[in-house]
Chains A and B, each alone.
Chain A
Amino acid sequence: MTDTPLLKVNDVSKFYGSRIGCRNVSFELWPGEVLAIVGESGSGKTTLLSCLSTRLMPSSGIVEYHMRDGQYRDLARMGEAERRFLMRTDWGFVHQNPADGLRMTVSAGANVGERLMAVGDRHYGNIRATAADWLARVEIDEDRIDDQPRAFSGGMRQRLQIARNLVTSPRLVFMDEPTGGLDVSVQARLLDLVRGLVHDLGLSAIIVTHDLAVARLLSHRMMVMKDGLVIEQGLTDRVLDDPREPYTQLLVSSILQV
């Protein structure tokens, strides 16, 4: 286990006018660690994810990322071009709605290949072969490589979005309700897939979800948010088996048993 965090978050707050998005959030994310952010709608979890992934600029606080060259960089002080390069190569972002993360009118193969071209790959044959390999890894038949995602089911689109994000071997992946719009059987397949890939690739991930079962299955560590604040955090097992805060107890006790 390495001894430097991948991401250092220090006292991050985001205000929308006088309304609080998230407030005074601090934590560190370590290589290979999967962190789940849970809480009900409006608790600030997506705002926090956006602040961490530079999709939103925090009102105050610092987010630092451990670059491949070993230096920590303050994300807010990075140039736009550099930040975009980071997002396209070393990071992934899996949206709840695959249409937000895919280009719906180009082929599945091109959706995956595009990220490879962004890191300088130019050999068509190699790009196509890698794309085909990744489609297989996310369980999409190779004969669908030239189809557009418009023609895919919701579950397939989500798996394609994951392939597109992981093809450049990112070190950090953000996921916003990755199983949100999927029916249960499709969800199970996707969860199993994500779990396997995270393990095999040694990825770090930050997953926003309101589904505690998803958090239990995928994450090592968990933060519970309410009204923009992190009210409880710790080992996922501990937070779910022995919730301490009133709101966390309410969340855990509200799960339906099957």
Chain B
Amino acid sequence: MPTPLVVSEVFKSFTMHLRDGITLPVVSGVSFSVKKGECVVLGGPSGVGKSSILKMLYGNYAVDSGQILIEHQGHLVDLAHAAPRAVMEVRRDTLGYVSQFLRAVPRVSALDVVAEPLLARGVAQAEARERASDLLAKLNLPRELWQLPPATFSGGEQQRVNIARGFITDHAILLLDEPTASLDAVNRRVVVGMIAAKKAEGVALLGIFHDEEVRDAVADRILDVSAFSPRKAAA
């Protein structure tokens, strides 16, 4: 059985040209893999590079060296070196991401924000909206908000829109950046249930969860990112 996500010897630093070109090392020698149906949680203190790892895996951050191998439609794509349109294709069909904050688009309703990833994959609008409605209902987002753009929603409401958008597709790999940070206990449990369902479907999940209760409920394995911290290596 192929492994959907393999990260091998990834190095990342930032060069701050506006600050006299100083180089900030972020992570070095990151190597791990995530199997089907497994939920790996990135652990370690703030600032150790957990979010940076997720952003590299999604293609938002470039990597200095190393490989990020994603199983995409029967072949391997190295996301660290893929062309922009290959990254777009992998994001559309294979790799999902629930970011910490929603990037709201003016005038687009919550329902359409959630339905959009399905539309991008050619699902008919009526069906996409129906599935979006199901998810928003499951996440207890008040029905009167569905037709409104999420820009004015509370943090927890925006986060639920974001979660619904990330979970609506059947992507084989899902990256989760603190998806439960601003949720109440009831909705945290809903999300825990949704993660368990993804695992049962064989989705590979990689996430950051600061909430211990959620972490203990979903994690198969905790990967301590401090092991990849260049600062520690230097000390």
A234-B84, A245-B17, A249-B17 given; A217·B60 CB < 8 A: no
Interface members, chain A 145-176 (any B CB < 8 Å): none
Please tell me which stretch of B105-113, B163-171, B180-188, B190-198 contacts chain A, meaning at least 4 of its Cβ atoms lie within 8 angstroms of it. B105-113
- A207-244 toward B: CB 8 Å interface, digit per residue (1/0)? 00000000001001100000000000011011001101
| Contact B89 A1, beta carbon cutoff 8 Å | yes
A91 interface contact, C-beta 8 A: no
| Contact B85 A220, beta carbon cutoff 8 Å | yes
* Secondary structure type dominating chain A contacts: helix
Give CA–CA (A246, B17) in the complex, Å: 5
Chain A residues whose CB sits within 8 angstroms of the CB of B17 once the complex forms: 245-246, 249-250
Chain B residues whose CB sits within 8 angstroms of the CB of A234 once the complex forms: 62, 84
A55 interface contact, C-beta 8 A: no
Name the CB-closest residue of A to B18: A249
Number of A-B contacts (CB under 8 A): 56
Contact partner of B61 among A217, A220, A242, A249, CB < 8 A? A242
Q: How large is the interface on A (under 10, 10 to 19, 20 to 34, 35 or more residues)?
A: 20 to 34
Give CA–CA (A15, B84) in the complex, Å: 30
Give CA–CA (A2, B210) in the complex, Å: 42
Name the CB-closest residue of A to B89: A1
A67 interface contact, C-beta 8 A: no
B89 CB → nearest A CB, Å? 6
Q: How large is the interface on B (under 10, 10 to 19, 20 to 34, 35 or more residues)?
A: 20 to 34
B79 CB → nearest A CB, Å? 10
Name the CB-closest residue of A to B21: A246
Chain B residues whose CB sits within 8 angstroms of the CB of A201 once the complex forms: none
A202 CB → nearest B CB, Å? 11
A237-B59, A238-B61, A244-B62 given; A249·B16 CB < 8 A: yes
Give CA–CA (A235, B84) in the complex, Å: 5
Please tell me which stretch of A38-46, A128-136, A185-193 contacts chain B, meaning at least 4 of its Cβ atoms lie within 8 angstroms of it. A185-193
Give CA–CA (A257, B89) in the complex, Å: 31
Chain A residues whose CB sits within 8 angstroms of the CB of B84 once the complex forms: 220-221, 234-235, 238
Name the CB-closest residue of B to A184: B106
Output the residue of A217, A238, A246 with the most chain B CB within 10 A: A238
B145 interface contact, C-beta 8 A: no
Chain B residues whose CB sits within 8 angstroms of the CB of A189 once the complex forms: 106-107
| Contact B88 A235, beta carbon cutoff 8 Å | yes
A177 interface contact, C-beta 8 A: no
- B13-30 toward A: CB 8 Å interface, digit per residue (1/0)? 011111000000000000
Name the CB-closest residue of A to B15: A244
Interface members, chain B 80-94 (any A CB < 8 Å): 84-85, 87-89
Give CA–CA (A235, B18) in the complex, Å: 22
B55 interface contact, C-beta 8 A: yes
A1-B89, A192-B106, A220-B85 given; A238·B15 CB < 8 A: no
A195 interface contact, C-beta 8 A: yes
Give CA–CA (A9, B32) in the complex, Å: 40
Give CA–CA (A185, B224) in the complex, Å: 46
Interface of A toward B, CB cutoff 8 Å: 1, 30, 33, 188-189, 191-192, 195, 199, 217, 220-221, 234-235, 237-238, 241-242, 244-246, 249-250, 253
Q: Can you list 13 pairs linking A and B with CB atoms under 8 Å apart?
A: A33-B85, A189-B106, A192-B106, A192-B107, A195-B105, A221-B85, A235-B88, A237-B59, A238-B60, A242-B60, A244-B15, A249-B17, A250-B17
Interface of B toward A, CB cutoff 8 Å: 14-18, 55, 58-62, 84-85, 87-89, 105-108, 119-120
